[in-house]
Amino acid sequence: MKKLKMFCLTIFSLLLFPCIVNAASGSIKVTGSSTAVVGNRVTYTVTLSSSTAIGSWQMDLNYDKSYLQLVSSTAESNGTMMTNSSSGTKSKSYTFTFKALKTGTTRLSVSSYLVYDYTSMNEMNITASSNTVKIITQEELEASYSKDNNLKSLSVEGFSLDKEFNKDTLDYTVDVPTGTTKVKVEAKVNDNTASLEGTGEIEVTEGLNTIPIIVTAQNGDQKTYTLIVNVEDQNPIKVELNDKEYIVVKNNTLLEAPLTFTETTVTINDYEIPAFINNVADITLVGLKDNYGNIVLVQYKNNNYYSYNELNLNTYMLIPDTFDTPLDLIKTSVTINDEKIDAYKYSENSSYVIISAKSLNDGKKALYLYDPINKTAMKYDSTYLDEANKTITNYTYVIIVFASALGLMLIIILALILSLHKKQKKIKKFIAKQEAKIEATRKLNDVVEEVQNITKKEHHQIKQDTTALPKVSKNNKDNKDRKNNKENNDTVQISKINIDEKKAKLEKNKDNSSNQKEELSKTKKIPELKEDTSKTNNDTKTSIKELPQKNNQQEQEELTKTKITNKNLEETEIYRIFDDDFKVRRKKKK
């Protein structure tokens, strides 16, 4: 019984042991940079691998989202979950790109996974690794770069330098024999993170050849070592050009023919010197080398040397296109490759036209000035034309302003002439009015004088009548008084008629448009008339007082009163006439 139990246990163990030994295994690795810069992108790769075929898998990449932001992924879900199956692959990789968000240290790992064997479909034994990332700033990264830009060694194969190498010594010279065309420069950097330029096989020619050797440190700092290779020249041809010394290049290996030039030779000091010639322009070029080994091409003619400056213009590959907006020029057309396209030109006699085309060099559309004869083009610049149009516009404004000012001056001059003409007419009219006033005044004086004469005559007549007055009876006296009163009334009536006639004549000569000042000048004569009339009355009174006393004193006084009354009536009538005339004229004036 005991032996049976041992046998069963052995059989069970043998059946179980092969399964455990044959279980497949694999690994998951996360690879990528261990350093990232804030703001920059960093890429990591998750690789599932096994020595046996993998049937299916499911994995998930874990990371701290506060430090890293997922930008892109090759996982099936475009995220961090990796789930798929295969027909027996042994390796599968996924790529994840992150953006670093802040400084610090974080870790990327695959902590959740499940992988099955392709053959047995059993779960595989997987070991997973992680990647630790240190995120720093750009300043911290640059500060961590190496600044070492020194050489560790420098030499020329087969030749010795003029001095022993020292990393702090920058200039070295080596002499090589005549006919040497190449030298091999060897150098090593002091820091493996630094880069190196200027080593290897270098072509040289007779004379001095300058070879710069540039060391660039990891942080970008550069240091240049200068190696001068002097190829001995037994008979150098020395040339002085623009106050600088050169020697003629006798070897054509470092000379390159410019476009439109072909190779030739010229004889200088009994040496065949390599040269280049352009038969169309009749120009021959030779090479000159300065003391630093720099080679330039110069013109050579009749043993004289001249500077050669070549203007190398870029050529355009253009595709004609349509104009976006019409130009303010003469529209025309031009034929290019048997195709007629729209164009513009400045004038009918212009040999050039403006076309719109797209450049195959940069893909940009622009305007070009095209020469149909030589089939060449250059970019069109409208600055000059715009400035010219602006200048013309400014001059146009100036001309308009000047013409306006001139027109305004002419209008002012015409207005002044018209105003002067009107003033002259007013002056003439004023003179005519003044003459009319003078004539009216003269006639008024005549009227006053005539009135005064009439007054004197009447006064004289009264005096005579008073002197010859007889003593009569009361009846006779009454009759005589009535007779005298009638005569006086007739005299006053005659005076009034004469005054009316004079007034009518004056009315015809007076200007109805006289101002108040003219009327006042007329009225000034009225007080004079009043004064003269008062004087006459006083004289009359005096004469009457001087009359001899008659027997009938009462009769004489009554007669005198009658005469005075008549005179006062006459004077009052004259005043009334002139006063009415003045009021009428003043009313018309208003």
Pairing of strands 330-336, 339-345: antiparallel
Q: Look-up: residue for tokens 């990393």? A: 167
CA distances, 584 to each of 284, 531, 579 (Å): 118, 24, 9
Domains observed in the chain: 24-142 (2.60.40.680), 151-231 (2.60.40), 238-307 (no CATH), 318-381 (no CATH), 430-589 (no CATH)
The predicted pLDDT at position 293 comes to: 81
The predicted pLDDT at position 246 comes to: 92
Which tokens sit at 585?
A: 């004229």
The predicted pLDDT at position 577 comes to: 57
Which tokens sit at 422?
A: 């009107």
Yes or no: say if 511 and 436 are a contact pair by the CB < 8 Å rule: yes
Cβ-based neighbours of 544, under 8 Å, separated by 6 or more:
462, 466, 560, 563, 564
CA distances, 305 to each of 74, 242, 250, 288, 464 (Å): 67, 10, 16, 10, 148
Residues 569 and 576: their CA atoms lie apart, in Å, by 10
Compute mean pLDDT per 10 residues along the chain, 590 residues long, and list them: 42 44 80 92 94 90 94 89 87 94 94 87 90 92 90 94 94 92 94 94 87 93 94 87 90 84 92 92 92 88 89 73 88 88 88 88 86 85 73 87 90 89 83 83 81 80 67 49 54 54 54 45 43 46 44 57 57 56 56
Q: Tell me the DSSP string of 243-258.
A: TEEEEE---GGG--PP
Yes or no: say if 479 and 560 are a contact pair by the CB < 8 Å rule: no
Which tokens sit at 225?
A: 């070592």
End-to-end CA distance of the chain: 168
Among the listed residues 38, 26, 227, 216, the one whose alpha carbon sits nearest the alpha carbon of residue 129:
26
Beta bridge partners of 265: 274
| Burial classification of residue 127, based on how many CB atoms lie within 10 Å of its CB (0-12 exposed, 13-18 middle, 19 or more buried) | exposed
The predicted pLDDT at position 386 comes to: 72
Residues 345 and 333: their CA atoms lie apart, in Å, by 9
Yes or no: say if 97 and 41 are a contact pair by the CB < 8 Å rule: yes
The pTM of this model reads 0.42
Cβ-based neighbours of 434, under 8 Å, separated by 6 or more:
none
The predicted pLDDT at position 107 comes to: 94
Cβ-based neighbours of 456, under 8 Å, separated by 6 or more:
536
Q: Tell me the DSSP string of 469-520.
A: PPP--HHHHHHHHHHHHHHHHHHHHHHHHHHHHHHHHHHHHS-TT--HHHHH
